[in-house]
A and B are shown apart, each in its own frame.
Chain A
Amino acid sequence: MIGLTAVFIGAALALNIYVGGARFNAESFVPNIVVLGITRELGPVLAGLMLAGRVSAGIAAEIGTMRVTEQIDAMTTLSTDPFKFLIAPRVLAAVLTLPVLVAVADIIGVMGGYLVAVNSLDFNGATYLRNTFNFLETQDVVLGLTKAAVFGFIIAVMGAYQGYNSSGGALGVGRATTNAVVGAIVLILAVNYLITAFFVE
């Protein structure tokens, strides 16, 4: 799913940058801007948004169901910390796996731009790839993967937060799921700006 998103975004980005660059004879910058835009911004944000829709909702529904069926209360009664057994593993998993997914999305996104540039815009394939790799710096990748880890944390914690505090039976679980997705998306976009501003300064 993330691969599909990335390939279409990379392709659309390449086309748009070509159109914009052609206005002042800067078409040759297409590979540079595609790789910069995908690794620093679009890869982590789109992967975060896609996972907010799937994972955050899933965690909220799962923990919310456990809450309304009093399974979490039963754990507390047995002196088992629900945070340690229900929430911490999910948070750790999201923080570790989202950077991996984003790395894959970055590669697929750049390849999407490559396909459009070579097949539709008459770029030379070898030159496109050489420009891409020469322009890319380590800090671009580090910024993208740092964002991904933070987004993973936000996705898991927001889902767990909404599920843990849900009440009112099946209706409450549905409401918690919706709130988890909306909250995670808003937080991802806001934190994305803050991290970018921090790294730019």
Chain B
Amino acid sequence: MINPFVPIGASTLAIFAEIGRFSMFAARAVAALFRRPISPANSAANVFRSAIFRCR
């Protein structure tokens, strides 16, 4: 017979893991709010750098 604490513990762990993932996502969203806007020139340079990186 399965110990009843096993599914309870597993569900609790899963809930805490989900809360952790959600908190990390929320932190990234908040950080994105305060990030410096990318200028068009900078953005073009990024695309160029990314393309070179991928070709290499």
User: Counting chain B CB atoms within 10 Å of each CB, which of A78, A79, A91, A164 scores highest?
Assistant: A79
Interface size class of A (residues with CB under 8 A): 10 to 19
The SS class assigned to the A binding surface is: helix
- Given A81-B35, A88-B29, A91-B30, 20 further pairs, Cβ under 8 A: A77-B54, A78-B46, A78-B47, A79-B46, A79-B50, A83-B28, A84-B32, A87-B32, A88-B32, A88-B33, A91-B29, A92-B33, A156-B29, A157-B22, A157-B25, A157-B29, A158-B22, A160-B25, A161-B21, A161-B26
Closest to A86 in B: B32
User: A141 CA to B23 CA in the complex, in Å?
Assistant: 28
B-contact 0/1 string along A31-66, CB 8 Å cutoff: 000000000000000000000000000000000000
B window 25-55: CB within 8 A of A = 25-26, 28-33, 35, 38, 43, 46-47, 49-50, 54
Flag whether A16 is at the interface (Cβ < 8 A).
Answer: no
Flag whether A80 is at the interface (Cβ < 8 A).
Answer: yes
Interface size class of B (residues with CB under 8 A): 10 to 19
Closest-CB distance, A64 to chain B (whole angstroms): 14
